[in-house]
Amino acid sequence: MPLRIATLLFALHCLLPTSCVAFSCTLVPGALVQIDAGVGQLFGVNKDDNIYTRFGSSWTQLPGKLKHVTVGPAGVWGVNRANHIFKLVGTDWVEVPGLLKQIDAGGDQFVAGANPADAIFCLPKENTVGYSRSNSAMNWRQIPGGLKYYSCGPYSCWGVNSGDQIYVKKGVSSSNCEGDGHWHHISGGLSMIEVGSDGSVYGVNSAGHVYHRASTSALKPEGTGWTHIQLYSGQVKHVSYDLGHLWIILKNGNIYDCPNDCTE
């Protein structure tokens, strides 16, 4: 479907006969390369590393430069081109000791991410919530394995490695951000993946197609299978999901807000 069409209706029934996802997408003014939605807030960065947050129907630029930004129960965090880590404290970006190329604040008041060598780290609640100055004590915990992208939700963390293989970590919590100690391999291939604040899992593959993991829950974090969401197929670069809205960034920078209009 041509990009000039700002609204797209798409309905797809999931594996459970009584459930579905149906998106109605609207073009949002602006251009971004990465976006993150969580706890009712929305942040993103553009190709020049400028940082934006959305209030109502407009974007507000924040001071500073970041290549990746995230918002969640642990607050607003980000990393810059030099892989330095920052937390938004009030209106100021306060540097956090450590180096990460990608960071996620979607866990239960902990943050996690991958460093330039694909090593995986998480920072528990005891360090994230009250962090306010660059000399605060840190307790980064390294998680065995290697991932290029890592995202967490209320009961699980998902990641993809350099070969686009997908893994899930169960048993994560605010005090045990490392999880249960086991990686569970998930079939399929994705280049990035995001976990929503409700545990929903969405990802994008190297060909620019969007996928949703069906039937994830606290009892079965790994879900039951992948569903291809046929929105702007072949053109998508990044996605994020929160409070019933799937946010999509295309390779050309276009932004789409896609509420889930399915009624069950």
Per-residue pLDDT, 15: 32
- The residue behind tokens 């829950």 is 217
Per-residue pLDDT, 136: 63
Per-residue pLDDT, 131: 82
Per-residue pLDDT, 14: 33
Instruction: Please list the ranges in the chain whose pLDDT falls under 70.
Output: 1-21, 134-137, 262-264
Per-residue pLDDT, 197: 87
Q: Where are the domains of the chain?
A: 28-259
Per-residue pLDDT, 3: 38
Give the predicted TM-score (pTM) of the model: 0.90
Name the fold adopted by 28-259.
Answer: Methylamine Dehydrogenase; Chain H (2.130.10)
Q: How many CA atoms lie within 13 A of 36 on its CB side?
A: 29
Per-residue pLDDT, 2: 41
Per-residue pLDDT, 58: 96
Per-residue pLDDT, 135: 58
Per-residue pLDDT, 133: 75
Per-residue pLDDT, 22: 79
